[in-house]
Amino acid sequence: MTTPDYRLSQLETLEAESIHVIREVVAELERPVLLFSGGKDSIVMLELARKAFAPARIPFPVMHVNTGLNFPEVLEFRDKRVAELGVQLVVASVPDAIAAGTVKEEPNGSRNRIQTPVLLDAVEEHGFTALFGGARRDEDKARAKERMFSFRDEFGQWDPKNQRPELWDLYNGRIHLGESIRVFPLSNWTELDIWQYILREEIAIPPLYLAEEREVVERQGMLYAVNEFIRPRDGEQTRRESVRYRTVGDANLTAAVPSVATTVEEVIAEIAVTRMTERGATRGDDKVSDAAMEDRKKEGYF
Amino acid sequence: MTAAAEPGLHPEPPVDLHSAAAEQAHDIALARKDILRIATAGSVDDGKSTLIGRLLYDSKAVFEDQYEAVERASKGDYVDLALLTDGLRAEREQGITIDVAYRYFSTPRRTFILADTPGHVQYTRNMVTGASTADLAIVLVDARKGMLEQSRRHAFLASLLRVPHLVVAVNKMDLVDWSEAAYEAIRDEFTAFAAKLNIPDLTVVPISALQGDNVVTRSANTPWYEGPSLLHHLEHVHVASDRNLVDTRFPVQYVIRPQSDAHHDYRGYAGRVASGVLRTGDEVQVLPSGLTTTIAGIDGPRGPVDEAFPPMSVTVRLADDLDVSRGDLICRPANAPHATQDLDALICWMTDEPLRPRQRLAVKHTTRSVRAMVKDVGYRLDVNTLHRDTDAVELGLNDIGRVTLRTTQPLFVDDYARNRATGRFILVDEATNATVGAGMLVAP
């Protein structure tokens, strides 16, 4: 990979930055944990964590917030990856929290908002002081102002008006008891960078990300694949269509996009010509309002 | 973000992967590029948001649903591209910009990370933050108003942070009838001012961000202008030689010891190359012990590599079993940084409570954290006039001044002008844990 003029490509530069951030957290903070959803961003983040400490094992556990609405393919992928890496898996369960009465199901069926208290409870229970998240700044305007090291108070809240200045690559990980740091090693990656890295490093991803003929139902201009959580309603017609997922959220809310891309390289070609943001195209939960992400982040959402 | 949810809309058909557009997009997406980090400075009225919106839109970093939302919200004759950089609700409500926002766009040659720094509230803190990681700074000047106090301030802060390349975008040229004289007056005044600062590379481009002139392509409205368009300059400016590849500095970040059967004796020092080049077989010295050894091997993200250079993150293995830990620094025996407990630095102060002599602070320098006491405030700098006020006894919020500090342990430092990576540090308040200052070391 060395070139005579000592230059790195954009992927190598981003990779070096992310590895530096991940190592810095482990060196400075007591109990880090990596939030792993089984989505492509957290898959890349986990791979970067592996590279950061190789040939040693990743020196922190991985946490999954199980909403009870996960795609089975994603859970299967999660368990396989965790076993391969020999890391500890912590599961924070939304259905358990609903059963215990600590959170209440929302009328619209979305568990996006109620997963936040479940996450925060798990963080407190395990005493985690640093949480790695796979968020990228190009995803949303609220994320565009995030730090690499994002300070959270004892309630896990984000205060956009009172962020620590972040200079050079000198990250400030100092906290008091009860406070924590959210760390976003992929801050500077774009969607295309993630895909290019998956291609270049031959990183395994759940099959949902590739096009396949699936039974779909159309709702408000979006295609939902019929699954355990999405059943055709009265009067709705299903049809077979070749679709793939651009993001993998809850199975009852994540729409698929029409696609014939059956390889990572074809996905990249599609994304490069597609003119719709990831979240706008596929996430029912971000459409509630223009500031939906901003509000959820303040409450402690990733 | 609402376009796809409108009732009656249908999903777009799949992309035809065999179309010329898809093949071209594929080639562009997979091309090997490098990264240029940019900081922009300016305030509400000088068209900075419009310029950024224009760069994002014309380089196709804007998606259809974002553009449609902006189109709906625009009031005048033009689609208000400034709305593309619209921020948080709290900001819209108060009509202000709170913080540095990061934007991303790319062309077939380069990808760009743009730190968009607001010009009015907390301008020094934000500009210093944005400029700290920048290869290039863009300062906007309104062609009708000429060089203002804030233009000087922005240029000065870029030079203070040693941003190697400065671009002055003379905006709103359409409002001065594309006057060559107006452009030249600003260019000459800026060039004269820049000569007093440390600005090695200055480029002045006449543009209209609103209409797109000279932003992506050269404009027919400025036949007298012989330079490149702004984007062409951003794509081609030579940054590879901005790094210090001479002075080998490798701050140890973390020690990797697998303690597994397969890697029983593995002991590697993980870190990011701050400057210089490390090669397998090099004789090196470890600070603070001063012991010397040789590099037995270097492991990169994809396995062993022969050499490592900035900004690579690698793991270095040494031939001898030395006691090396986080905060130590690996260098060449004949070229070591200055080990000192006395820091002489320009400090940008970033909190309400002033910096005063005898104050205790935490210092983070490379991977080393120490405690320090403020010994003296030498002078406070007026960022508008560059006047040094030697009567100053403290630094307030957003002040910049020359300060000496005494640390509890030695740091291994270089002059910031020679080595941005080992010449910088941050100051942290030990009670609140807030980052309260940024320091740039002045040659001992």
* Mean of the per-residue pLDDT values of chain A: 87
Residue B423, token pair as written in the block: 């010449």
Q: Please compute the mean of the pLDDT values over residues B425-434 and round it to a whole number.
A: 96
DSSP symbols for B280-296: TT-EEEEETTTEEEEEE
Kindly state the average pLDDT of the residues B218-228: 95
Question: CB–CB of B428 and A172 under 8 A?
Answer: yes
Q: What angle do CA B194, B195, B201 make, to 5 degrees?
A: 65
Q: What is the DSSP letter of B19?
A: S
Distance between CA atoms of A245 and A255, rounded to whole angstroms? Answer: 7
Q: Is the pLDDT of residue B408 over 50?
A: yes
Nearest-CA residue of chain B relative to A279?
A: B1
Does the beta carbon of B334 lie under 8 angstroms from any beta carbon of chain A? no
Give the closest residue to A120 by CA, choosing from A131, A110, A111, A109: A131
Backbone angles phi, psi at B307, to 5 degrees: -145, 160
| Residue A289 Cα to chain centre, angstroms | 21
Higher per-residue pLDDT: A279 or A175: A175
**Is pLDDT above 90 for B253?**
yes
> Which pLDDT belongs to residue B28?
72
Residue with tokens 């100092």, as numbered in its chain: A174
Q: Which residues contact B229 (CB under 8 A, 6 or more apart)?
A: B205, B214, B215, B216, B217, B218, B219
DSSP strand pairing (B307-308 vs B34-41): unpaired
Confidence of residue A269 (pLDDT cuts 50, 70, 90): confident
Asked if A137's CB is within 8 angstroms of B25's CB, the reply is: no
Residue B84 has pLDDT above 80, yes or no: no
What is the mean pLDDT of the segment spanning B144-155? 88
The residue-averaged pLDDT of B226-245 equals: 92
Pick the range with the lowest mean pLDDT from A196-200, A284-288, B94-98, B422-426: A284-288
Tokens read off for A250: 């809850």
Alpha carbon distance B202, A285 (integer Å): 47
Confidence of residue A287 (pLDDT cuts 50, 70, 90): very low
Give how far B9 is from chain A: nearest CA, Å: 5
Candidate from A24, A144, A175 with C-beta closest to B253: A24
How far is residue B122 CA from its own chain's centroid? 17
A212 contacts chain B (CB < 8 A): no
Residues of chain B with pLDDT > 90: what percent?
64
In the predicted structure, residue A275 carries a pLDDT above the cut 70 = no
pLDDT at A20 over 60: yes
Distance from CA of B425 to the nearest CA of A (A): 7
User: How many Cα atoms occupy the beta-carbon half-sphere of A46 within 13 Å?
Assistant: 28
φ and ψ at residue B259, rounded to 5 degrees: 50, 35
B20 and chain A: CB distance < 8 Å anywhere?
no
Cβ-nearest to B101 among A2, A145, A175: A145
Least confident of B100-114, B194-208, B399-413: B100-114
H-only helix segments in B216-297: 230-236
Shortest distance between the Cα of A213 and any Cα of chain B, in A, equals 13
Q: Does B3 have pLDDT greater than 50? A: no
DSSP-derived 3-state class of residue A164: coil
Contact list, A54 vs chain B (CB under 8 Å): 256, 299
Interface of B with A in 243-302 (CB under 8 A): 243, 245, 253-254, 256-260, 262-263, 266, 270-272, 277, 299-302
Nearest CA in chain A to B60: A275
Tokens coding B15: 């992309």
Residue A202 touches chain B, beta carbons under 8 Å:
no
Judge whether A279 and A41 are in contact, CB under 8 Å.
Answer: no
A164–B435 CB contact, under 8 Å: yes
- The answer on pLDDT for A220 being more than 70 is yes
The number of beta carbons lying within 10 Å of the beta carbon of residue B64 is 16
Mean per-residue pLDDT for A112-120? Answer: 87
Residue type, B363: V
Please judge whether A220 and B299 are an interchain contact, meaning their C-beta atoms are less than 8 angstroms apart. no
B26–A269 C-beta distance less than 8 A:
yes
Question: What are the C-alpha distances in Å from B383 to residues B71, B158, B160, B399?
Answer: 39, 11, 10, 8
Burial of B393 (0-12, 13-18, 19+ CB in 10 A): exposed
Average the pLDDT over A45-49 and give the result: 98
Is the pLDDT at B96 greater than 60? The verdict is no
Give me the total of CB pairs closer than 8 Å, taking one residue from chain A and one from chain B: 259
Contact A141 B364 (CB under 8 A): no
The reported pLDDT for the residue numbered B7 is 42
Q: CA separation (Å) from A63 to A87, A130, A253, B305, B404?
A: 10, 12, 22, 33, 45
The residue that leads in pLDDT, A250 or A90, is A90
Give the model's pLDDT for residue B278: 97
> What pairing do the DSSP bridges indicate for beta strands B400-413 and A149-152?
unpaired
Q: Identify which of A119-123, A277-281, B283-287 has the greatest average pLDDT.
A: B283-287
The shortest C-alpha distance from B47 to chain A (Å) reads 19
Considering only the beta carbons, identify the residue of A16, A172, A188 that sits closest to B311: A16
* Higher per-residue confidence, B60 vs A82: A82
* Nearest by CB: B34 against A7, A261, A270: A7
A176 inside 8 A of chain B by CB: yes
Residue A31: Cβ within 10 Å count: 14
The residue behind tokens 């800026």 is: B190
Which pLDDT value is given to residue B6? 44
Provide the pLDDT for residue A3.
Answer: 47
Distance from CA of B204 to the nearest CA of A (A): 26
Residue in chain B closest to A137 (alpha carbons) equals: B102
Mutual orientation of helices A10-28 and A191-200 as an angle, nearest 10°? Answer: 90
- Judge whether A177 is closer than 8 Å to chain B, CB to CB: no
Q: Give the minimum alpha-carbon distance from B228 to chain A in angstroms, rounded to a whole number.
A: 24
Of B22, B365, B367, the CB nearest to A269: B22
* A154-162 average pLDDT score: 80
Contact A190 B111 (CB under 8 A): yes
Q: Residue B130: what are its φ and ψ, rounded to 5°?
A: -65, -40
Tell me how close the Cα of B218 comes to any Cα of chain A, in angstroms. Answer: 26
Both tokens assigned to B135: 């290869």
DSSP state, residue A232: P
Q: Does B125 touch chain A if contact means CB atoms closer than 8 Å?
A: yes
**Average pLDDT of the residues of chain B:** 88
ipTM: 0.92
| Alpha-carbon gap: B282 to the closest alpha carbon of chain A (Å) | 17
Q: Answer yes or no: is pLDDT of A294 > 80.
A: no
Spatial contact of A61 and A33, defined as CB atoms under 8 Å apart: yes
Q: What's the CA gap between B45 and A53, in Å, rounded? A: 48
In whole angstroms, give the CA distance from residue A31 to residue A24.
13
Task: State whether A23 and B66 contact (CB < 8 Å).
Answer: no
Q: What pLDDT sits at residue B112?
A: 93
Least-confidence region, from A30-39, A163-172, B120-129, B333-342: B120-129
Q: Given this model, what pLDDT does residue B60 score?
A: 66
pLDDT score recorded for residue B19:
77
What tens digit of pLDDT does each residue of A52-97 get? 999 999 999 999 999 888 999 999 999 999 999 999 999 998 888 8
Tell me the C-alpha distance between B164 and B132, whole Å: 11
- Nearest CA to CA, how far is A267 from chain B (Å)? 9
Give the residue-averaged pLDDT of B298-310. Answer: 96
10 Å Cβ neighbour count for A228?
11
pLDDT for B239 beyond 60: yes
Q: How far apart are CA B28 and CA A285, in angstroms?
A: 32
pLDDT higher than 80, residue B399:
yes
- Across the range A90-116, mean pLDDT stands at 86
The mean pLDDT value for B411-422 works out to 96
Judged against a pLDDT cut of 50, whether residue B108 lies above it is answered with yes
Residues 6+ apart with CB under 8 A from B109: B31, B33, B235, B236
Give B 63-82 residues with CB within 8 A of chain A: 63-66, 69
Structure letter (DSSP) for residue B400:
E
Report pLDDT for B414: 97
Which residues from B are below 8 Å from A214, CB to CB? none
pLDDT of residue A168: 96
Is pLDDT of A109 > 50? yes
Contact criterion met (CB < 8 Å) for B14 and A268: no
Say yes or no: A286 contacts chain B, CB-CB below 8 A: yes
Contact A220 B9 (CB under 8 A): yes
Q: Indicate the residue of B277, B307, B312 with minimum beta-carbon distance to A16.
A: B312
What's the pLDDT at B78?
65
Residue B353 has pLDDT above 60, yes or no: yes
Interface mutation vs chain B, best among A6, A45, A46, A136, most B CBs within 10 Å: A6
d(CA B65, CA B278): 47
* Cβ-nearest to A266 among B17, B34, B263: B17
Amino acid A187 reads S
CA angle A185, A186, A192 (to 5 degrees): 165
**Residue B67 in this model has a pLDDT that exceeds 70:** no
